[in-house]
């Protein structure tokens, strides 16, 4: 049954049902002396603030239309000035299907004085065409004060409710949500970090929760925080019998294919008539499918700017966004797909979700799973994926927001789940160095950057044509660097690599005595410090791509010196084989070859692997300090 049919049927069924109202169980503005006297969080003493109590009531309105209310009441204790930022409150909502009302907020100081938020200090602002937010900032905060606020969201998006996060970026003493549903509906709960949540009689609670913070190599900490939301699974038919309601992927894709703001703009040739006239003469000069596709992609990317907005719908077609000069992500990629198809290429849209928006869950599939469209095209029989949102990202390369395992293809008469290839980021650095008469390191450097690294280097070439970035990369600990003869020697858009070469000299880089000369073997690595510093980690490690770095330094032994010592070789791999690194050093006649490699070949690792990963990075970074010692003859 479609959503529209379900709405019509249920409205007829529920007009006779009683209105169900939410119930509160702790009072707004009633603060205990004990809470006012708290000076720190018992279970996280260094916290800048903590949630004392937070609750949500979800209940349904079924008199004239089906919608649910999401009533929230939050109470926070501020410990230090650093905690003042928690007095800035942002509540996002969908413009066409949700509304926010009954907003109240106040500050309770230690002396019992209360400052209430005034209505004229509550603002609404646009995030995107479909997504807005209500925001306010609580006034007159001071250390040890308590802030509290409440609000009510009314939403017609009842197939899947809003998430309720028990964990936050500050510790939480107690959090609960109560879910009340009319007897005509059945919902199932969907939970994350279920071990932290207790459930009884449709009330879900969690207590004494440590804060969650951003950690390296994890895009969304919220994806692994304690959370619950509710999805419709069944409804009563006209005979009073429960009928299952399943997310119908066929219905979703069929509706989108016919939607005037999706399929019609992507598949209808009329939406890009003027654009096609502009580019068709130049396309006739393209020698092959790749050249044809790259020309169209580059033309759209350079003439139409991404407005930093996601969303699956195309409010404007290709000709309109060309006039505006700006577009959301789906409009950009949808226009390219449209032009590819006009050029005779096989191309389709792929429904996806930006990684920072959350994971796609095929088990609870609905349109809320998707907030972006990326592109698929066949070139010489092979699939190529693209996303034109990021400036100067080359054709055939997805960016890190596109880090999903699968995306949903919509074609002329059906749909298919398409596996998205793992992103790659590879760098090769080949140094040839010697020590000149002034004690400076002089030499040349050849680099090759592949995949995501290529995109970064091409982007920097736009503003740095002389290699200034390498001055910053090579200088450290007071040394001075000069780079000359910087050249881009090759850019291969089919293989997605770019190559550079340059000359350089480094002053104040070497330590010496009357007899010994100490030469650092490593001149550069992308890693300057260990990203894994915490003693324990409670979330997975999400590299989101494979990473490879190869460093070779061919060192000419200084005249009048011989090799006194150099570091030992090492080869280290974690038990899961997900990360490895090696260092190999050898002397060949009057040269020393120093070869270092690190390879991360799993884009996702469990927290149980954290200690192995941490230990490997500690060893790797220690080896970046390798010294080769020469003795004067």
Q: Can you tell me the distance from the alpha carbon of 590 to that of 555, in angstroms, rounded to the nearest whole number?
A: 9
Q: Can you tell me the distance from the alpha carbon of 321 to that of 317, in angstroms, rounded to the nearest whole number?
A: 6
CATH 2.60.120.1130 fits 424-632, yes or no: yes
For domain 249-419, give the fold: C8orf32 fold (3.10.620)
Residue 22 has what pLDDT?
35
Cβ contact 530:216 at 8 Å: no
C-alpha distances in Å from residue 48, one per residue of 36, 45, 106, 145, 407: 15, 9, 19, 12, 40
Residues 6+ apart with CB under 8 A from 412: 257, 267
The pLDDT of residue 532 is above 50: yes
Cβ contact 580:598 at 8 Å: yes
Q: Do domains 249-419 and 424-632 have the same CATH topology?
A: no
Tokens 């903590």: give the residue: 50
Q: Can you tell me the distance from the alpha carbon of 30 to that of 46, in angstroms, rounded to the nearest whole number?
A: 26
φ, ψ for residue 474, nearest 5 deg: -90, -25
pLDDT tens for each residue of 408-427: 999 988 899 999 999 999 99
Residue 238 has what pLDDT?
83
Cβ contact 403:394 at 8 Å: no
Helix (H) / strand (E) containing 250 = helix 249-258
Q: What is the mean pLDDT of the chain?
A: 91
Cβ contact 23:71 at 8 Å: no
Cβ contact 468:457 at 8 Å: no
The pLDDT of residue 598 is above 70: yes
Beta strands across the sheet bearing 546-556: 480-492, 497-507, 441-451, 424-435, 546-556, 591-600, 579-588, 570-573
Q: Do strands 424-435 and 546-556 pair parallel, antiparallel, or not at all (unpaired)?
A: parallel
Residue 246 has what pLDDT?
66
CATH architecture, domain defined by 3-243:
Sandwich (2.60)
Q: Can you tell me the distance from the alpha carbon of 380 to that of 398, in angstroms, rounded to the nearest whole number?
A: 19
Report the half-sphere exposure of 76 (CA within 13 A, side-chain side). Answer: 30
Helix (H) / strand (E) containing 242 = strand 242-244
Burial 375-407 (b: 16+ CB within 10 A, else e): bbbebeeeebbbbbbbeebbbbbbbbbbbbeeb
The one-character DSSP state at 112 is: S
pLDDT tens for each residue of 558-577: 999 999 999 999 999 999 99
pLDDT band at 13 (very low <50, low <70, confident <90, very high): very low
Helix (H) / strand (E) containing 71 = strand 67-78
The pLDDT of residue 20 is above 80: no
The CA-CA-CA angle for residues 247, 242, 3, to 5°, reads 35
Q: Can you tell me the distance from the alpha carbon of 545 to that of 403, in angstroms, rounded to the nearest whole number?
A: 8
Residue 183 has what pLDDT?
86
Strand partners, 4: none
**What tokens were used for 614?**
């941490």
pLDDT tens for each residue of 44-66: 999 999 999 999 999 998 777 88
φ, ψ for residue 416, nearest 5 deg: -160, 145
Residues 6+ apart with CB under 8 A from 450: 424, 425, 426, 427, 428, 495, 496, 497
pLDDT tens for each residue of 101-142: 999 999 999 988 999 999 999 999 988 777 899 999 999 999
Strand partners, 547: 425, 600
Cβ contact 457:498 at 8 Å: yes
Q: Can you tell me the distance from the alpha carbon of 370 to that of 388, in angstroms, rounded to the nearest whole number?
A: 18
- pTM for the whole thing? 0.84
φ, ψ for residue 36, nearest 5 deg: -65, -30
Tokens 């603030």: give the residue: 49
Domain spans of the chain, in order of start: 3-243, 249-419, 424-632
Helix (H) / strand (E) containing 78 = strand 67-78
Residues 6+ apart with CB under 8 A from 599: 546, 547, 548, 549, 579, 580, 581
pLDDT band at 14 (very low <50, low <70, confident <90, very high): very low
The one-character DSSP state at 160 is: B
Q: Can you tell me the distance from the alpha carbon of 68 to that of 160, in angstroms, rounded to the nearest whole number?
A: 11
Residues 6+ apart with CB under 8 A from 416: 408, 409
pLDDT tens for each residue of 374-411: 999 999 999 999 999 998 899 999 999 999 999 999 99
pLDDT tens for each residue of 157-209: 988 899 999 999 999 999 999 999 888 899 999 999 999 999 999 999 999 99
Q: What mean pLDDT comes out for the span 497-525? A: 93
- Closest by Cα among 306, 287, 305, 286 to 296: 286
pLDDT tens for each residue of 351-369: 999 998 888 877 667 777 8
Q: Can you tell me the distance from the alpha carbon of 498 to that of 492, in angstroms, rounded to the nearest whole number?
A: 6
**What tokens were used for 99?**
């509304």
């Amino acid at each position: 049954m479609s959503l529209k049919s379900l709405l019509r049927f249920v409205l007829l069924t529920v007009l006779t049902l009683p209105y169900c109202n939410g119930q509160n169980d702790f009072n707004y503005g009633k603060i205990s002396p004990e809470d006012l006297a708290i000076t720190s969080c018992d279970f996280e003493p260094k916290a800048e603030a903590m949630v004392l109590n937070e609750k949500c009531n979800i209940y349904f309105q079924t008199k004239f239309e089906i919608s649910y209310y999401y009533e929230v009441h939050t109470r926070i204790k501020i410990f230090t000035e650093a905690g003042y930022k928690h007095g800035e409150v942002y509540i996002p909502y969908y413009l066409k299907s949700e509304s926010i009302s009954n907003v109240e907020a106040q500050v309770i100081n230690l002396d019992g004085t209360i400052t209430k938020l005034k209505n004229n200090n509550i603002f609404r602002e646009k995030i995107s065409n479909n997504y807005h937010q209500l925001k306010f900032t609580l006034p007159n905060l001071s250390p040890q004060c308590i802030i509290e606020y409440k609000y009510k969201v009314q939403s017609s998006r009842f197939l899947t409710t809003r998430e309720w996060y028990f964990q936050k970026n500050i510790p939480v003493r107690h959090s609960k949500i109560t879910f009340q549903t009319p007897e005509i509906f059945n919902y199932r709960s969907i939970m994350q970090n279920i071990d932290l949540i207790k459930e009884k009689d449709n009330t879900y609670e969690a207590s004494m929760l440590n804060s969650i913070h951003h950690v390296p190599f994890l895009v969304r900490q919220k994806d692994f925080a304690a959370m619950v939301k509710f999805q419709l699974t069944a409804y009563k038919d006209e005979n009073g019998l429960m009928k299952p309601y399943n997310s119908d992927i066929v219905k979703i894709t069929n509706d989108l294919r016919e939607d005037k703001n999706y399929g019609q703009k992507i598949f209808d040739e009329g939406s890009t008539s003027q654009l096609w006239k502009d580019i068709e003469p130049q396309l006739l000069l393209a020698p092959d499918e790749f050249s044809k596709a790259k020309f169209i992609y580059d033309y759209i990317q350079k003439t139409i700017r991404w407005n930093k907005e996601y969303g699956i719908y195309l409010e404007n077609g290709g000709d309109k966004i060309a006039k505006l000069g700006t577009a959301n992500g789906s409009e950009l990629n949808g226009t390219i797909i449209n032009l590819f198809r006009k050029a005779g290429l096989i191309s389709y849209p792929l429904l996806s979700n930006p990684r920072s928006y959350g994971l796609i869950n095929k088990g609870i599939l609905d349109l809320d799973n998707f907030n972006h469209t990326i592109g698929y095209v066949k070139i010489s029989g092979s699939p190529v994926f693209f996303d034109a949102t990021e400036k100067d990202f080359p054709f055939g390369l997805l960016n890190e927001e596109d880090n999903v395992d699968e995306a949903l293809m919509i074609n002329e008469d059906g749909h298919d789940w398409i596996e998205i290839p793992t992103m790659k980021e590879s760098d090769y650095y080949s140094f040839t160095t010697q020590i000149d008469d002034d004690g400076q390191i002089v030499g040349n450097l050849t680099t090759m950057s592949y995949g995501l690294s290529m995109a970064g280097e091409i982007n920097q070439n736009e503003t740095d044509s002389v290699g200034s970035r390498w001055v910053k990369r090579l200088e450290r600990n007071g040394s001075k660097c000069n780079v000359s003869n910087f050249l881009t020697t090759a850019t291969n858009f089919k293989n997605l690599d770019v190559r550079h070469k340059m000359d350089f000299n480094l002053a104040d880089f070497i330590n010496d005595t009357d007899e010994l000369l100490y030469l650092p073997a490593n001149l550069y690595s992308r890693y300057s410090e260990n990203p894994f510093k915490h003693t324990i980690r409670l979330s997975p490690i999400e590299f989101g791509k494979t990473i490879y770095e190869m460093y070779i330094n061919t060192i000419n032994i200084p005249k009048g010196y011989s090799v006194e010592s150099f570091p030992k070789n090492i080869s280290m791999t974690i038990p899961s084989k997900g990360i490895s690194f090696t260092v190999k050093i050898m002397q060949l006649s009057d040269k020393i070859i120093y070869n270092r490699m690190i390879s991360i070949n799993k884009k996702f690792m469990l927290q149980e692997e954290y200690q192995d990963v941490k230990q490997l990075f500690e060893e790797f970074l220690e080896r970046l300090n390798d010294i080769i010692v020469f003795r004067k003859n």
